[in-house]
């Protein structure tokens, strides 16, 4: 069996790709961990406008640099810019497959989409379920790591972000991911609990700022709820594959997200909410609805390029803690 490198732009049923013996690669992680500014520059040289979200430009250049065999774009349930991104990648000669999270959010519709994905990769549901069982063992550990973050004070917001965000593709190697996760958790279990003065929630797509979590800790806060990153880790451990991707909130719009957010804010006794939006992103509109329904101190931060917090944004963060901290 030939192991192919399959890039993708947003979380999807990676079980199918692993079951086919291939390696899934979340392009967002390659972009943000790599030469991010250079990736953006390369995309702009190819004609991407300045007024397009940096993640789209970064994913474009990351896909071209990652030696991929194929890219899966999400044609429903993610960003509309993603469709144009995959068109540009097709122009570069990369084979493209489109997966969608049907917006009616019904079991038969999603089941059908997953079946088409399985047919594309020539794997059976049984083979996919075997992989799901294996990945669920790792997801169970991530749930524990998340509990250690908000219940035990053993894990920082940045560490929580790192492990949860990387569960979108398990960094292309679930066994190694689990080994590293277990070693990290062993070390973390020996720590003295550190209880933050301010229990913060982080909402929205992962931050493009490199030092946001550190600056929040400097101000006495700690992110103990990373909303979208936690969703990537499929935290409900549904035994059914389709069900797992039905309860996953991110593709189904702001009200699906809001229900999960309100429940978790209450459960985790959150004091302050930091909602991140990316420049030129449609989720800025969803943020209006989040702000309206969340009755807690609420700060919206907007980021553009992969860099440290600029002085204006840092000032906004400091003022927020000064007023509500
Ligand atoms: S941040 Fe917004 S615009 Fe950018 S890729 Fe994500 S959903 Fe699309």
Residue nearest to atom 2 of ligand 1 (CA): 281
CA of 292 relative to ligand 1 center, distance in Å: 21
Which domains, ranges and CATH numbers included, belong to the chain?
A: 5-123 (3.40.50.11890)
Average pLDDT score over residue span 113-130: 98
CA nearest neighbour of 14 among 163, 173, 191: 173
Q: Note whether 299 and 207 are within 8 A (CB).
A: no
From the alpha carbon of 78, which atom of ligand 1 is closest?
Answer: 7
CA of 184 relative to ligand 1 center, distance in Å: 30
Residue 27 in contact with ligand 1 by CB distance below 6 A: no
Q: What value does the mean pLDDT of the chain take?
A: 96
CA of 323 relative to ligand 1 center, distance in Å: 30
With the most atoms of ligand 1 within 8 angstroms of its CB, the residue from 10, 53, 303 to mutate is 53
**Residues 291, 188: Cα–Cα separation, whole Å:** 34
Q: Note whether 19 and 31 are within 8 A (CB).
A: no
CA quadruple 145, 147, 148, 150: dihedral, nearest 10: 130
- Check pLDDT > 80 for residue 7: yes
Q: Note whether 196 and 272 are within 8 A (CB).
A: no
**Residues 95, 114: Cα–Cα separation, whole Å:** 19
Q: Percent of the chain beyond pLDDT 70? A: 100
C-alpha pair distances (Å), 17 with each of 5, 128, 272: 9, 9, 38
**Residues 204, 132: Cα–Cα separation, whole Å:** 26
Residue 56 in contact with ligand 1 by CB distance below 6 A: yes
* Length, in residues, of the chain: 325
| Helical (H) or strand (E) element with 190 | none
Residue nearest to atom 8 of ligand 1 (CA): 79
Residue 281 in contact with ligand 1 by CB distance below 6 A: yes
C-alpha pair distances (Å), 204 with each of 68, 103, 144, 273, 301: 28, 19, 22, 11, 10
Q: What is the pLDDT of residue 167?
A: 98
Query: What pLDDT, in 10s, does the model give residues 122-159?
Result: 999 999 999 999 999 999 999 999 999 999 999 999 99
CA quadruple 40, 45, 48, 49: dihedral, nearest 10: 90
Residue 274 in contact with ligand 1 by CB distance below 6 A: no
CA of 54 relative to ligand 1 center, distance in Å: 8
Triad 123, 128, 131: Cα angle to 5°: 130
Q: What is the pLDDT of residue 35?
A: 84
Residue nearest to atom 3 of ligand 1 (CA): 281
CA of 44 relative to ligand 1 center, distance in Å: 16
SS (H, E, C) 137-174: HHHHHHHHHHHHHHHHCCCCHHHHHHHHHHHHCHHHCH
pLDDT category of residue 180 using cuts at 50, 70 and 90:
very high
Residue 53 in contact with ligand 1 by CB distance below 6 A: yes
Average pLDDT score over residue span 214-230: 98
- Check pLDDT > 80 for residue 325: no
- Check pLDDT > 80 for residue 1: no
pLDDT category of residue 34 using cuts at 50, 70 and 90:
confident
Q: What is the pLDDT of residue 2?
A: 84
The pTM of this model reads: 0.97
Q: What is the pLDDT of residue 23?
A: 98
| Helical (H) or strand (E) element with 250 | none
Return the CA Rg of the chain.
19
**Residues 41, 50: Cα–Cα separation, whole Å:** 10
Query: What pLDDT, in 10s, does the model give residues 226-280?
Result: 999 999 999 999 999 999 999 999 999 999 999 999 999 999 999 999 999 999 9
Neighbours of 26 (CB within 10 A): 26
Query: What pLDDT, in 10s, does the model give residues 57-110?
Result: 999 999 999 999 999 999 888 888 999 999 999 999 999 999 999 999 999 999
Q: What is the pLDDT of residue 279?
A: 96
From the alpha carbon of 277, which atom of ligand 1 is closest?
Answer: 1
Question: How do strand 96-100 and strand 5-8 relate by DSSP bridges?
Answer: unpaired
């Amino acid at each position: 069996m030939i192991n192919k490198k399959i890039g993708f732009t947003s979380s999807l049923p990676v079980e199918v790709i692993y079951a086919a013996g291939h390696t899934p690669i979340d392009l967002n992680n390659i972009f943000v961990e790599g030469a991010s500014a250079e990736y953006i520059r390369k995309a702009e040289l190819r004609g991407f406008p300045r007024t397009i979200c940096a993640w789209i430009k970064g994913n474009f250049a990351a896909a071209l640099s990652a030696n991929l065999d194929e890219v899966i774009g999400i044609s429903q349930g993610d960003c509309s810019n993603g469709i144009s991104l995959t068109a540009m990648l097709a122009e570069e000669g990369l084979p493209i497959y489109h997966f969608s999270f049907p917006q009616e959010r019904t079991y038969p519709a999603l089941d059908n989409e997953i079946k088409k994905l399985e047919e594309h990769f020539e794997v059976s549901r049984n083979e996919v379920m075997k992989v799901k069982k294996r990945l669920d063992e790792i997801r169970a550990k991530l749930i524990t790591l998340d509990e250690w973050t908000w219940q035990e004070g053993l894990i920082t917001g940045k560490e929580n972000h790192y492990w949860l965000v990387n569960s979108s593709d398990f960094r292309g190697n679930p066994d190694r991911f689990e080994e590293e996760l277990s070693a990290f958790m062993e070390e973390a279990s020996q720590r003295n609990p550190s209880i933050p003065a301010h229990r913060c929630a982080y909402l929205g797509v992962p931050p493009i700022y490199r030092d946001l979590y550190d600056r929040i800790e400097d101000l006495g806060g700690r992110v103990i709820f990373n909303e979208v990153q936690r969703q990537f880790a499929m935290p409900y451990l549904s035994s059914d594959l389709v069900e797992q991707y039905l309860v996953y909130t991110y593709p189904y719009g702001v009200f699906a997200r809001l229900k999960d957010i309100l429940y978790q804010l209450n459960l985790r006794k959150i004091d302050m909410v930091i909602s991140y939006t990316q420049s030129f992103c449609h989720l800025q509109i969803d943020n209006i609805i989040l702000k309206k329904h969340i009755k807690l101190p609420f700060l919206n931060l907007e980021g553009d390029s992969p860099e440290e917090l600029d002085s204006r944004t840092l000032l906004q963060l400091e003022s927020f803690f000064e007023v509500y901290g």
